[in-house]
């Protein structure tokens, strides 16, 4: 497998998004890094970047998703995502990137399409771990 062409960061904290974007760009792990401030914005990005038929080069292959956000949190995003045709025809890797380790949150994640869970902050080792596990990169 190759590196993801596009990565989507979904977090309501602009500083976290800035730092994560800079990290991903410095590591050169994707051609593009997109940012959404909540689940609703993330769904809008997917609607634009992931057409249902063909032309999926711009569709994010990897999403780092926060849990606690206004308007639409990570759980609401995942539930809405499951209803999209996109969820059934493409394998997007969704990694929860959060500070929440509440047992109730962890239990809810078991029933949702999440490929993994990482605690904040994102760092080079965590990025490499995700790339090795899901994109075959050493």
Structure confidence by residue, pLDDT tens digits, 28-64: 999 999 999 999 999 999 988 887 654 566 889 999 9
Task: Locate the domains of the chain by residue range.
Answer: 6-135
SS3 64: strand
Residue 56's pLDDT is 64
* Domain 6-135 bears CATH identifier 3.20.20.10: no
| Strands ordered across the beta sheet of 93-98 | 32-36, 6-10, 62-65, 93-98, 116-119
With bands split at pLDDT 50, 70 and 90, how would you rate the model's confidence at 125?
very high
Question: Whole-prediction pTM value?
Answer: 0.90
Which residues touch 90 (CB under 8 Å, ≥6 apart)? 50, 56, 59
**9/78 Cα distance (integer angstroms):** 14
Residue 112's pLDDT is 80
Share of the chain above pLDDT 70, in %: 88
């Amino acid at each position: 497998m190759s590196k993801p062409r596009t990565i989507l960061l979904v977090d309501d904290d602009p500083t976290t998004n800035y730092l994560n974007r800079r990290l991903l760009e410095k590591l050169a792990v994707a051609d593009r890094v997109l940012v959404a401030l909540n689940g609703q914005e993330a769904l809008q990005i997917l609607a634009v970047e992931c057409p249902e038929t063909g032309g999926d080069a711009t569709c994010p292959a990897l999403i780092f998703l926060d849990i606690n956000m206004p308007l639409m949190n990570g759980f609401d995003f995942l539930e809405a995502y499951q209803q999209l045709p996109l969820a059934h025809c493409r394998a997007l890797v969704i990694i929860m990137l959060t500070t929440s380790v509440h047992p109730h949150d962890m239990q809810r994640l078991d029933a949702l399409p999440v490929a993994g869970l990482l605690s904040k902050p994102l760092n080079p080792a965590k990025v490499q771990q995700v790339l090795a596990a899901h994109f075959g990169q050493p």
